[in-house]
Amino acid sequence: MSVLAAGLLSLSGCATPTAQDYATDEAARLALVAQENLLALATVSKSDPLPTSEEIRAVFQTDVTSMTGPELRAMNTSSRSLLLYSIDSTTNQQVANVFVMGRGQGGGGWFYESVHSYTCVSFTYERSRPGKLTASEATCPELLVENLTFPLDDKLASFDDLDIEEIVEK
């Protein structure tokens, strides 16, 4: 067997990351960015351990809490990666709900592939746990899924695939 043939056989057994793998990794990276930026608001030195809605909104470049379907569809695709879609407030907690979308590319030539991986994450501050931020899986609203994703190319990523810590502390 030639050296070239042996090299090709050894490469054929390698698991090469797919475009979907890259997209999920990018979504995970963006979720971590959101988590780090939101954790900065979880300060224990203020008189109220819950950040205000305005403080949370300031963390995100794009706030789609009041956008309609046509407005969402008209958004530049590059600005769809990390979106605040709602803030739920009660006396004892503040929840920031975030849509995260990563893009992945793979292959080349006739085998080029470009896909997106998206998920939704809830980041929760609790008055009884100052300095802590909890991340959990959220259900993506149909309005966002229908207007920001492409069913043939985009896949919903599992929260477990994001590999982010569920509870972080400042």
The per-residue pLDDT for range 21-42, each reduced to its tens digit, is 888 899 999 999 999 999 988 8
Say what the pLDDT of residue 162 is.
83
Rounded-to-integer distance, Cα 87 and Cα 65, Å: 8
Q: Which residue has the tokens 């090709």?
A: 8
Identify the pLDDT of residue 143.
Answer: 93
Long-range contacts of 144-147 (CB under 8 A, 24+ apart): 144/64, 144/72, 144/83, 144/85, 144/99, 144/120, 145/118, 146/69, 147/69, 147/72, 147/73
**What is the pTM assigned to this prediction?**
0.82
The pLDDT value recorded for residue 60 is 87
pLDDT tens per residue, range 88-142: 999 999 999 999 988 888 877 777 777 888 999 999 999 888 889 999 999 999 9
Residue 12 pLDDT > 70, yes or no?
Answer: no
Instruction: Indicate if the pLDDT at residue 10 is higher than 50.
Output: no
